[in-house]
Structure 1
Amino acid sequence: MHILLVEDDAPLAQAVDAGLRQNGWRCDQARDAATARIALVDHAYDAVLLDLALPGGSGIELLRTLRARYDATPVLIVTARDALSDRIEGLDAGADDYLVKPFQFDELYARLRAVARRSSGRVAPVLRCGGVELDPARRVVTRDGAAVALSIHEYRTLLALMERQGRIVTREQLEDLVYGGDGAIESNTIAVYVHQLRRKLGDDLIATLRGYGYRLGQARA
């Protein structure tokens, strides 16, 4: 598994990182909210270990941003906040589990394995448009039954459009859903992803409504 560890306590982060690697897992570290946001946009992780008190932002807001763009990556909150209200807020924001510091490392690894297992068995509806199917649970896209390889940003663009079939989605909305509203990107970035999706999945899949945005399932206007 490839894990993102979001933790600003350097000694603890190094200890957790070492333990994860000993268990055969890959681990990337983020010490603040901004770095974590970039990592979550640029990579597809199998799970996230998330502290709540972070420099430059709240772990809860980071989690809400992740879920707002339909990213179902398992998240295990690991924090010193042990109040019931904090646990409820974290779980309601979309966390899969909640572990209070200090903790035993064996319990951390066991909980991480558990959220990963639950995620792999999670039932999610397969989205369809014509001959294109998107399976969010497996992150698999097919065209007429054949698997199609997409970049993570192409996949998120397609997911955002398929979740809103028949509705116009503006470029600004797509940028927010794909990138979480963080960071400056080129003005034509979404257009490039749409072009790539048409090339891989068919010219008629995504309509451009000039001056408005994009809509799935109709020929270009």
Structure 2
Amino acid sequence: MPDAPPGCQLYLISPPDPADDFPERLARALDAGPVAAFQLRMKGADDAAIVAMAERLMPICADRGCAFILNDRADLAAQLGTDGVHLGQGDGDIARARALLGRDAQIGASCHDSRHLAMEAGEAGADYVAFGAFYPSDTKETTHRPDPEILTWWTTMFVLPCVAIGGITAEDAKPLVDAGADFLAVSSAVWNHPEGEAAGVEALTAVLKP
């Protein structure tokens, strides 16, 4: 993931069970506006399915300058040569992921609503921290609901980028952008947009413009 410039960027997350036509859908989404990073998140899928989908999606991201991040699996990320990995709490150790992936890999950490977890992740060498879910999410069950103020606190205190995640749409994104999020992680707002994924990216991009 590139360093966060002034402003806020999009970070797309795959639907939980991407279908065979998903590579074409991803290409349409990335072509619709600037997207900094894409995360493949296939909870519960077997390794072969994750690898097969990743191998189809990685060139699409690379051709468009979009970082390809794999969820949870640092071992598969190393095997595939992805740009990085995103680790949930309990899904892997940042130091071990760094040893597997090298110093240039982007390693993110889910920190929910915890300032303490975020500071620990930063000290362990994470490249970004993710807070959320800020809103109810259709993509995954959530129990943590931070206040947007945690984004302001983080960006005031630390240079490490922060990601806001959880139920974010074009309609509810602005408070998170205003609070200081460097990236907005979105899924349903793009893949379930009634006019298609390109329209979903365009709507969110409009919110991010200064």
Given the two structures, how large is their TM-score scaled by the length of structure 2? Answer: 0.33
Bigger RCO of structures 1 and 2 (CA < 8 A, at least 6 apart): 2
Q: Which has the larger radius of gyration?
A: 1
Q: What TM-score do you get using the length of structure 1 for normalisation?
A: 0.32
